[in-house]
Structure 1
């Protein structure tokens, strides 16, 4: 169970970016679990989101349990996003972050943010 305090859910709010996908943020350079995605942060519009696979890990938001597919982060805003896997009977659908995302609270210090990144690495899959 990934224990992150989720602030809200977003629908159709995250877009693909045209930013340079060859740059890697210095804050994340120590954490090879996260890699560049093609999404742009919808908060600052200044950074690409960095992604880590967490297939099948669960989390809770507003009393409902969600099966996570990927975690994303914006090092500028110091937040975590999550994409989910939706289950309907025996059908599993991995929803893209652009369709549905969970959004964490903003971490106020770089130390707190790095602690959360270190915590999430435990759930890395593949």
Structure 2
């Protein structure tokens, strides 16, 4: 049995650290903990996120076997109402967002992108272990 407990840090490639850090703070509500010319360290969605200065056209995305560019990170919200509010909020903040999708499993999702084209997913279902640990009910 593995003793891995949680994912502590996610690294996201960005071209302009200062501009990207400002975007994550203003658009997603991240908390900026540290910034220098090469990186910014943020608190976002109960995780540490490092924005790392990278070469242009670098993203955390990947291409699946069907040649579709995919995201590597899914954020969770607590229910469909929260997903719809988040979707509207992101549109109001002029964040690039896709449509709310039914992917044939529990809940609904939508995809959004940051300034550098890093794609992220938002899912309407909180994981049961997170709900239990933080005493969250619907």
Instruction: Answer whether TM exceeds 0.5 for this pair.
Output: no
Greater helix proportion: 2
> Which structure carries more relative contact order (alpha carbon 8 Å, separation 6+)?
1
Q: TM-score, normalised by structure 1?
A: 0.26
